[in-house]
Structure 1
Amino acid sequence: MPKHAYLSASASHRWLSCPPSAKLCAEIRDEAPPYAQQGTDAHELCEYKVLHALGEDVKDPTENLDFFDAKMANCMDEYCFYVMEQYAKAKQLCEDPKVLVEQRLDFSKWVPDGFGTGDCLIVADKILQIIDFKYGLGILVEAENNPQMMCYALSALDVYDGIYDIETVEMTIFQPRRDNISTLSMKKEDLLQWAETILAPTAQLAYNGEGDFHAGDHCQFCKVKATCRKRAEYNMELAAYDFELPSKLEESEIAAILPKIDNLVSWANDVKDYALQ
């Protein structure tokens, strides 16, 4: 198996829910989404703002950004203010908290060849903070049950637990264009237990192309979502619903259908787009 981000943290929600999808997706070439460069520019400006606020001699990248505008500048200022606010709190916990920006994070202890990049880490006694910046506007991202953040936290724990007396991990999604600051706090022991009992065994299944296919919300960014048989079966359950008996649906039946409608519409559109291509 080639050594690369085969099981990326950003796709962990999908391969933890559907382990064999990792192998299928790895066989398909990546295509950058239309606004990928916008996100890259935003993260580059984030890095500059925080490092500059920390007193480091860094070059302002603004003139070289393709998507820079006043809105982006305001969002970056909000992000930088939030990071520095958390840094100030960390200083109250110990004399020498550490701030790491755009840090490579290796969680291969639990996920084969697993690594990623953390936007901002603040390491102090008692609390380790993982802050992830999301510039996207379309999808609201929550910290609750967010395995990407948990993988990043594990990597940081593996390096800094012992150097600092870490008890709790705080994982925050900072998504300014959705006015969203979402934070999940976990005890160190609970995070490590999740890693050993859920993350590691499921990651091994995914790495080997084993396990069972499962359809659900995690299919949204799957590269094979249009042709996946399991997803088709999942959505055809609703399409095959017997609408003739009874002649009118009861409220309880409508309630059972409603949660599946968005997935059904999304699946139908994916199949249509695939067929037209």
Structure 2
Amino acid sequence: MASHAFLSASASHRWLACPPSAKLCAEVEEQESPYAQQGTDAHELCQYLVEKALGREVADPTSALEWYDAEMQECAEGYCSFVMEQIAKAKEHCPDPLICIEQKLDYSKWVQDGFGTGDCVIVADDTLHIIDFKYGLGVLVTASGEDGTGNSQLKCYALGALDTFGDLYDIKRIRLSIYQPRRAHVDTFELSTEELLKWADEVLAPTARLAYEGGGEFHAGEHCRFCKIKATCRKRAAYSLELAKYEFAEAPSLSSEEIGIILPQIEALISWAEDIKAYALEQALAGVHYPGFKLVEGRAVRKFSDEEQVIRAVCEAGFDPFEKKLLGITAMQKLLGKIQFDELLSGFVEKPKGKPVLVPESDKRPAVSSATLDFKEE
């Protein structure tokens, strides 16, 4: 049988929930996203900073990073500090922990052709710590995972680390950490080695066998977000259109119980609708005609065709063509350096309260009373 390395750890959340999607997605040509390259650049910067902090000889990659900016530097430095803190904690009970950065991890014992790369792996006697850096801003990633038993991607990495280092260390505890700086989110989940292996044997391995062969049942849900066939999946369409049974024109008559049923599906419904629109536009540009629709030129914003000529013309006319704007906090901190920034401006930095939002009870933020909120306009 030919090799199909499509059961990746990063996509495990999806194919564990919807096994047949894995093979179908593997048949769709990969389209590189600019956000993917941004994440790659951020990971490369993180690797450099951590290995440099560990005293290893590494080359500075910043000049070659396409997406490098002050925000990326700040996020990577924060990640480096977090990793070094975890290493320091490991040394409290293990004088010489094993530290692997960007370590290839093979979990094919449970998932055919399964392998991935661990951002940071720390083995300290009886404890294995997997740390994963997430540069994405759109989706909050938890270490506990959707089902509360641990993030499946990190658990796959932990299995690979166990298979590699398990003969050298008597690993009894597994720690899984997500560091997601652009969401101000750091999360850690712990489980025993016994619990991890039980999940691998009873859930991961049998589901992976189904997924590898294209078997199992389709199942729609939050995991559809990054599926390559999300726009045309009939199961997802049926799942999304279940909301049609509610008479939205009579929304005021809906009970709080009915609204409670609708709320969890709203984001998925919006996401599905946007995916359908994007797919339809892509197909229309390729020549597909949809009855009742046509391609037109969208609205455009005026812009200068030659900025240098504009600057010269305005200056010669005696005007200043530039506007002066105060640097943002991140850019200002980069300009002054963290120490001088704190000395000069720490007293002028504030974080206003965010506008109230309605979220599921599983959200970790503390609830606020509606009576304490001030809705007055400034």
TM-score by structure 1 length? 0.95
How far off is 1:3 after superposition? 2.5
How far off is 1:160 after superposition? 1.3
Match of 1:90 in 2: 90
Whole-Å Cα distance in 1 between the matches of residues 40 and 278 of structure 2? 27
Give the stretch that moved more between structures: 211-220 or 135-144: 135-144
Match of 1:161 in 2: 166
Whole-Å Cα distance in 2 between the matches of residues 132 and 245 of structure 1? 46
Give the stretch that moved more between structures: 64-73 or 49-58: 64-73
Whole-Å Cα distance in 2 between the matches of residues 27 and 4 of structure 1? 10
Q: How does 1:1-277 map to 2 (within 5 A)?
A: 1-145=1-145, 146-241=151-246, 248-277=253-282
* Residues 48, 259 of structure 1: alpha-carbon distance in 2 compared, 3 angstrom cutoff: same
Letter in 1 for 2:226: F
Whole-Å Cα distance in 2 between the matches of residues 247 and 100 of structure 1? 57
Whole-Å Cα distance in 2 between the matches of residues 261 and 242 of structure 1? 15
Do 1:93 and 1:126's aligned partners in 2 also have CA atoms closer than 8 Å? no
Whole-Å Cα distance in 2 between the matches of residues 78 and 258 of structure 1? 35
How far off is 1:247 after superposition? 8.6
Alignment gaps of 5+ in structure 2: 146-150, 283-378
- The higher relative CO (CA closer than 8 Å, separation ≥ 6) is in 1
Do 1:124 and 1:165's aligned partners in 2 also have CA atoms closer than 8 Å? no
Aligned residues: 277
Deviations 1:75-102 (A, max 9, x none): 1111111111111111222232111011
Letter in 1 for 2:161: A
**Structure 1 outlier segments of 4+, above 4 Å:** 242-247
Do 1:100 and 1:121's aligned partners in 2 also have CA atoms closer than 8 Å? yes
How far off is 1:157 after superposition? 0.9
How far off is 1:15 after superposition? 0.2
How far off is 1:242 after superposition? 5.1
Letter in 1 for 2:238: E
Structure with max Cα Rg:
2
Alignment gaps of 5+ in structure 1: none
Whole-Å Cα distance in 2 between the matches of residues 81 and 246 of structure 1? 50
How far off is 1:256 after superposition? 1.2
TM-score by structure 2 length? 0.71
* Residues 156, 215 of structure 1: alpha-carbon distance in 2 compared, 3 angstrom cutoff: same
* Residues 246, 254 of structure 1: alpha-carbon distance in 2 compared, 3 angstrom cutoff: closer
Give the stretch that moved more between structures: 116-125 or 262-271: 262-271
Do 1:8 and 1:114's aligned partners in 2 also have CA atoms closer than 8 Å? yes
Do 1:167 and 1:187's aligned partners in 2 also have CA atoms closer than 8 Å? yes
Q: Per residue, is there more strand in 1 or in 2?
A: 1
